[in-house]
A and B are shown apart, each in its own frame.
Chain A
Amino acid sequence: MKKFQTKVKLSGHIIDSLTLPKTLDEILEHGCNYEIEEIKVGKNRSDTSSALIRISSDSQKALDSTLHRILKLGASQIEEKEAALRTTTSDGVFPDDFYITTNLPTRVMIKGKWLTVKNICMDSGIKITGDFRHALCIKMGDVKKGDMIVTGHNGIHLTPMSRMRHSGIFEFMGSTVSPEKSKWLAIKHIAEDLKEVRSTKNGKILFVCGPAIIHTGARGYLESLILNGYVDLIFAGNGFATHDIEACLYGTSLGISLKEGAITKKGHEHHLRAINTIRKTGGIRQTVKKGIIKEGIMHACVKTNTDFILTGSIRDDGPLPEVVSDMKEAQRLLREKFKDVKLCIMIASMLHSIAAGNLLPASVKTICVDINPEVVTKLSDRGTCQAVGLVTDAELFLRELTNHLIKKAD
């Protein structure tokens, strides 16, 4: 985020006169950057057009010399309004008309300076620290009496999605849900993105996993990805981890043999017996250490020290000791762990995917893989507009992804 910024308006026959491209050229030539926040184009030849342009620079001198020049080209400087602040009067309650965040990169104007809101995620408020130097995204439940909270809509700036220029799979897919594009190519692009994030080490790769990964027999592929360092964090529920452990202990997933696809005698008991085994040893990590679990996804996580977060639901059996059932605590934990996520792959898990989407900023590349296209639609409807969808079976996806990554690595 550039340190010095200002906003100008350009109006007139700025398109036919080429005043708009000329002004943009001047901004760049003076070493500044621009962002067109709004443009209104006249409908007829005689109608004038207008554009609101935000100019930013690391140097006040460059910004001043740009302004000196473009004011002559007809630009008028627009005074930026300060964001309004109100102090909270009780814990867990925002002031009336508090500003509700989106997942887009957000800045607020405080004491004449633009502050970037840290850890932005949707459906939260913005807290300003006592020294007026930091802006933090804050959930309703975390508000404390006396916090300064941004209210209204003045002095708030969002960077639109189109400006984020996601590359790789995002350029390839184009549309949000794409059942009609080549799966093989799409998965190849995703593999490239994974490799890039892993090699540059500038962020985490998050996998949000649903039980279908186990049911469809794809656990071996995900295990390989973990063992090869392509997964930094797994977010799933009690069911997912239990099915994986059941597969390890009994060779079944919800009682169905993963090798033969047949119902196993007393298979329905395997699920609860698996949970009970883990609870008896005190947790997944302890079970792995004792050698009771010898392979599988959870085993790979423990062995490679890959982080995993399991959160509970009302239907959970057990649950496993690692499952966080306090939802407020689960949200806090997820926000903490999601801070450095750069790439998120959601596979066959609608509820956990929507939950993850709610906590991730729009700048995180998000890919949703599901056999049901409605899952991606639902994810977008809930505000995770950056997600691109791949409509396919979990096993096919993970098999192809592993083939691209592991074979080539070998």
Chain B
Amino acid sequence: MTSVLMCPPDFYAIDYEINPWMHVRNKADQKKAKKQWEDLHNIIQNLGVKIEIINPVKSLPDMVFTANAGLVFGRKFIKSNFRYKERKGEEKHFTEWFDKKGFEVFTIPRAIHFEGEGDILKIDDSFFAGYVIRSDIRAHEIISKITGKRVLSLELVNKRFYHLDTCFAPLSDKTILYYPRAFDAFGRKVITNNIKTRIPVNAKDAARFCCNAVTIGETVIINSRCKDAKDNLKNHGLNVIETDLSEFIKAGGSAKCLVLFIDNC
């Protein structure tokens, strides 16, 4: 049974700016955010996914984005080293949670930044990992050693798509949804060489975070009003569930950022 980790948005807010989407003046509507998070929670639960909950912590507004907690591989948890001090406080809480649940916790040297599943996604037998903006490429070799898997590094070249999961979504072992302009020519070539079916999205849908999608079986959960991407996904035989996540887009996140897969192997 698939299981994921989520964190209720009790303390979610736009209190600082660490990506081009965040503007402290553009406050998140707490009530609306709570409703959107619960909708997503229910959609995922109704698809038969077990949801684990971590308690939110005051003064850590981005803890709601559990995808950045680290990477789970079997019973191993590789904790994140956040680039920005604003999020470093989350590391301790996520580590404690996984430790209590009996996971073997791995740490990467402090000087090497790594932002968890936000920057590394598994397809078939390989990991695809984004770097430069938030994570350092040096983390990739370490992760390869811990997991014994190939890690293909993709440089992210567009600051608006600062994590891999904002521009790249695995849909199956052979298919992805992605925004090509978030990568350079080398990155696009790596994707072409290694992934059989690639569904590109346009700039408009990419800006609505359609690539920040959660795939459960053959169902893809995406932010609402990503029309072209939705049609494209349907044409590839996938079920699409749209849900409004506009309050989280204010912080540069959407469906996938709110979820960490914890049976990722």
Contacts and interface: CB of A to CB of B under 8 A. Distances in A.
B137 A18 contact: no
A18 B144 contact: no
Given A13-B152, A46-B150, A74-B153, A18 B141 contact: no
Interface string A70-98: 00111010000000000000000000000
B35 interface: no
Contact of B151 (A13, A21, A22, A76): A13
A184 to B, nearest CB: 46
B151 A18 contact: no
B153 A13 contact: yes
Contact of A16 (B125, B141, B194): B194
B194 A18 contact: no
B186 interface: yes
A22 B186 contact: yes
A45 B150 CA distance: 6
Nearest to A76: B138
B140 A21 contact: no
A16 B194 CA distance: 9
A72 B152 contact: no
Contacts of B140: 12-13, 17, 74
Contact of A72 (B132, B149, B193): B132
A11 B190 contact: no
A6 interface: no
B17 to A, nearest CB: 23
B155 A12 contact: no
Contact of B189 (A11, A18, A46, A73): A18
Given A12-B151, A18-B189, A22-B186, A48 B141 contact: yes
A72 B149 CA distance: 22
Given A21-B186, A46-B150, A72 B144 contact: no
Interface string A16-32: 11110110000000000
A17 B144 contact: no
Contacts of B194: 16
5 contacts: A12-B137, A12-B141, A13-B151, A22-B186, A72-B136
A74 B149 CA distance: 18
B205 to A, nearest CB: 27
B154 to A, nearest CB: 8
B188 to A, nearest CB: 10
B74 interface: no
A77 to B, nearest CB: 13
Interface string B128-148: 000010001110110011001
Report, as a range, how many residues of chain B touch the other chain.
Answer: 20 to 34
Interface residues of A, number: 16
A45 B144 CA distance: 11
B144 A48 contact: yes
Nearest to A11: B141
A19 B151 CA distance: 12
Contacts of A46: 144, 148-150
A74 B190 CA distance: 17
Given A45-B126, A45-B150, 14 more contacts: A11-B141, A12-B137, A12-B153, A13-B140, A13-B152, A16-B190, A17-B140, A17-B154, A18-B190, A19-B153, A22-B186, A46-B148, A72-B137, A74-B137
Nearest to A75: B137
A21 B193 CA distance: 15
Contacts of B150: 13, 16, 45-46
A72 B130 CA distance: 12
Q: List the 5 closest A-B pairs by CB distance, nearest first.
A: A74-B137, A12-B141, A17-B153, A18-B186, A22-B186
A18 B126 CA distance: 15
Nearest to B125: A45
A229 B132 CA distance: 61
Contacts of B148: 46
B195 to A, nearest CB: 12
B152 A74 contact: no
A22 B131 CA distance: 14
B62 to A, nearest CB: 24
A19 B144 CA distance: 15
Contacts of A22: 155, 186
A46 B152 CA distance: 10
B86 to A, nearest CB: 22
Nearest to A46: B150
A13 B155 CA distance: 14
A13 to B, nearest CB: 5
A16 B195 CA distance: 12
Contacts of A13: 140-141, 144, 150-153
A72 B184 CA distance: 15
A148 B96 CA distance: 61
Interface in B175-212: 186, 189-190, 193-194
A37 B59 CA distance: 51
A11 B189 CA distance: 19
A155 B241 CA distance: 63
A47 to B, nearest CB: 9
Nearest to A44: B150
Nearest to B140: A12
Interface string A91-113: 00000000000000000000000
A51 to B, nearest CB: 13
A28 to B, nearest CB: 14
Interface string A124-148: 0000000000000000000000000
Interface string B114-125: 000000000001
